[in-house]
A and B are shown apart, each in its own frame.
Chain A
Amino acid sequence: MSLLDIKNLSVRFGDVTAVPVVDGLDLSVAKGEVLAIVGESGSGKSVTMMALMGLIDAPGIVSADSLQFDGTDMLRLKGRQRRHIVGKDLSMIFQDPMTSLNPSFTVGYQIEEVLHQHMGLKGQAARQRALQLLDRVEIPAAASRLNAYPHQLSGGMSQRVAIAMAIAAEPKLLIADEPTTALDVTIQAQIMELLVGLQREQDMGLVLITHDLAVVAETAQRVCVMYAGQAVEIGHVPQLFDAPTHPYTEALLKAIPEHSQGQRRLTTLPGIVPGRYDRPQGCLLSPRCPYVQARCHQQRPPLDAHERGAARCFYPLNLTAEVA
């Protein structure tokens, strides 16, 4: 059984008739698996995971058939029960480490808070454990950093602290929401290395939300590609990169500089992601798709499973040859 199993998750802002930001998403993560969610800004990647964490406030509405995590349906949980899981078995790190730490409290306090909340550790015991955690995330001179305030740390250091906070209670699933986007390029690789190392050591599930396909290729086992709130392709790692089955995935891969050597310009997809009010009647990609057919303009394709994963397309690419 998978660690996380999301069935038909939708998130809307406003009333039930509002266009969903996340639309009928199915997703699963196995124990110890690294799943990457990729897609453009506003495609609903972060919102999906925020919904799982219970961080969507009114006027946001979360609905799903189930949000199964480690045997419990997160959707049915109320306040206190949810908080026994969130931050403990299920934890999250965010995009901007400089604003994600509370400026008024020391690093030590903010880590010990988690230890107190979920492991009942206090005083010296919590201090010791926090110190170990800082060591674990490879912060130099950890002992002196415990009393530092977030504004005294660099971005990379802050993200390490955020990671220490997130793994403090040994989660079964860690969600990393673009953990390197706000950091210097030189730091990005270090942080990714740290995350993957921790994931292997603790055998925890990792959901990696990112724009960076190179990172995905190196770290993830499976990928979910999202477009306009929907999963358009789900597949395993080397295959998806070698032979994408959805036109949007193909377009994303073509936009990687390494893939377009010799070309004068990067290949890009014309047009923009449809907004809330200008959704096409048919496939959401139809206005931009280079392979568009008449049917694509009339009907929305379902996410259909095929031998290498699933694609939300009537005419999936790179399949027929192998099937035939």
Chain B
Amino acid sequence: MLAFIARRLGLLIPTFFGVTLLTFALIRMIPGDPVEVMMGERRVDPVLHAQAMERLGLNKPLYAQYFDYIGQLAQGNLGESLRTRTSVWSEFTTLFPATLELALAALLFAGSLGLIAGVVAALKRGSLFDHGVMGISLAGYSMPIFWWGLLLIMFFSVWLGWTPVSGRIDLLYDIPPVTGFMLIDTLLADEPGAFVDALHHLILPAIVLGTIPLAVIARMTRSAMLEVLREDYVRTARAKGLSPARVVFVHGLRNALIPVLTVFGLQVGALLAGAVLTETIFSWPGIGKWLIESIGARDYPVVQNGILLIACLVILVNFVVDILYGLANPRIRHQR
């Protein structure tokens, strides 16, 4: 197993350097003079301009600039925001827990509901429930989630008044950030009211963000389950006199989970993209909203390294999914 992990880890390194190359090129692709762009496109004093070029290392040849960039990254220096003058890394670490909390809630929603719906649909193939699941999941798969979010806000927040419109928690509460997870921090601060309020704030965004993964997981689980239930080893399990629940959930689902896990991994990237939209709709203070606002403000260091961080995150998650995949599937693990 360790050898398997090491092999997969080895594959990460070139991908990582590729991504740095991409984010490095991103900034160089800005039309016009980067210094002028960063200084607000006013006419810049030539001396100041030269100084800025010197300071940013832009007067060196491209490969030297790239090595500078890698050197900076290696020292953990991701630059600082032009707007707030705080380091990109510290902004990222403050905002990331909010996105993670949202994404985990969405995955929990999508994963649990999707697996159950998919398994039941497969077991009751051709039934009304099956058709319903397939129809709804196709609609979910085609859903423009930014609109879906607005609809849910309109319905649950504006018309019914059940859930708050935006944010993570009511301004009345002052919760000291410990973990960055609002649900945990409210409990740590011993404020059950705030916990419930935070939960209320989380529900709609989590549903919105989880919609597409839910649809994908339900469909995938169904088709994987249908395939697995036809396998000989399921018949063997039944011939052993095992209970139907054990046959379906231990012998069936265990094998059906392998393709579902792959899809799950692919969904993590989509989830981060969806977070950009969801956070914008619900004013959720996470990295998605941060990135969009930085783009609007032409805060290039944030855009550049924010994207780098997100890409690393996706790579990391895919790596973890790969490992899980190996755990779930002995045939992969033993492959050379």
Residues of A near B258 (CB, < 8 A) are 104
> Are A100 and B232 within 8 A (Cβ)?
yes
Residues of A near B266 (CB, < 8 A) are none
A 83-103 binary contact with B (CB < 8 Å = 1; else 0): 111111001101010011111
- The distance from the CB of B239 to the nearest CB of chain A, in whole angstroms, is 5
Interface centre among A83, A84, A91 (most CB of B within 10 A): A83
> Are A104 and B241 within 8 A (Cβ)?
no
> Are A84 and B236 within 8 A (Cβ)?
no
Q: A94-B236, A149-B330 are in contact. Are A99 and B231 (CB under 8 A)?
A: yes
Q: A94-B236, A100-B233 are in contact. Are A83 and B255 (CB under 8 A)?
A: no
Q: How many residues of A contact B (CB 8 A)?
A: 32
Residues of A near B251 (CB, < 8 A) are 102, 105
- The distance from the CB of B184 to the nearest CB of chain A, in whole angstroms, is 34
Name B240's contact: one of A99, A103, A117 (CB within 8 Å): A117
Residues of B near A84 (CB, < 8 A) are 241
Residues of A near B244 (CB, < 8 A) are 79
Residues of B near A103 (CB, < 8 A) are 233, 255, 329-331
Taking CB atoms and an 8 Å cut-off, the chain B residues in 225-259 that contact chain A are 231-233, 235-244, 251, 254-255, 258
Q: Does B334 sit within 8 A of A, measured CB to CB?
A: yes
- The distance from the CB of A160 to the nearest CB of chain B, in whole angstroms, is 14
- The distance from the CB of A299 to the nearest CB of chain B, in whole angstroms, is 38
Query: Which residue of the partner chain B has the closest CB to A82?
Result: B241
Taking CB atoms and an 8 Å cut-off, the chain A residues in 208-245 that contact chain B are none
> Are A101 and B233 within 8 A (Cβ)?
yes
- The distance from the CB of B279 to the nearest CB of chain A, in whole angstroms, is 38
Residues of B near A149 (CB, < 8 A) are 330-331, 334
> Are A87 and B334 within 8 A (Cβ)?
no
Q: Does A129 sit within 8 A of B, measured CB to CB?
A: no
Q: How far is the CA of A304 from the CA of B241 in the complex (A)?
A: 36
Q: A87-B239, A117-B241, A118-B241 are in contact. Are A94 and B255 (CB under 8 A)?
A: no
Name B233's contact: one of A53, A92, A102, A114 (CB within 8 Å): A102
Q: How many residues of B contact A (CB 8 A)?
A: 22
Q: Does A152 sit within 8 A of B, measured CB to CB?
A: yes
Q: Does B328 sit within 8 A of A, measured CB to CB?
A: yes
Q: Does A306 sit within 8 A of B, measured CB to CB?
A: no
Residues of A near B240 (CB, < 8 A) are 86-87, 91, 113-114, 117, 165
- The distance from the CB of A107 to the nearest CB of chain B, in whole angstroms, is 11
Residues of A near B331 (CB, < 8 A) are 103, 149, 151
Q: Does A55 sit within 8 A of B, measured CB to CB?
A: yes
Residues of A near B243 (CB, < 8 A) are 80, 83
Q: Does A162 sit within 8 A of B, measured CB to CB?
A: yes
Residues of B near A151 (CB, < 8 A) are 330-331, 334
> Are B239 and A91 within 8 A (Cβ)?
yes
> Are B334 and A96 within 8 A (Cβ)?
no
Query: Which residue of the partner chain B has the closest CB to A162?
Result: B236
Taking CB atoms and an 8 Å cut-off, the chain A residues in 47-103 that contact chain B are 53-55, 79-80, 82-88, 91-92, 94, 96, 99-103
- 11 interchain pairs (CB within 8 A)? A83-B241, A85-B241, A86-B240, A94-B232, A102-B255, A103-B233, A103-B255, A103-B329, A104-B330, A113-B240, A151-B334
Beyond the given A103-B233, A114-B240, A149-B331, could you list 12 further A-B residue pairs with CB under 8 A, ordered by the A residue number? A55-B239, A82-B241, A83-B241, A86-B238, A91-B239, A94-B232, A94-B235, A100-B233, A100-B235, A113-B242, A117-B240, A151-B331
* Residues in B lying within 8 Å of A, measured CB to CB: 231-233, 235-244, 251, 254-255, 258, 328-331, 334
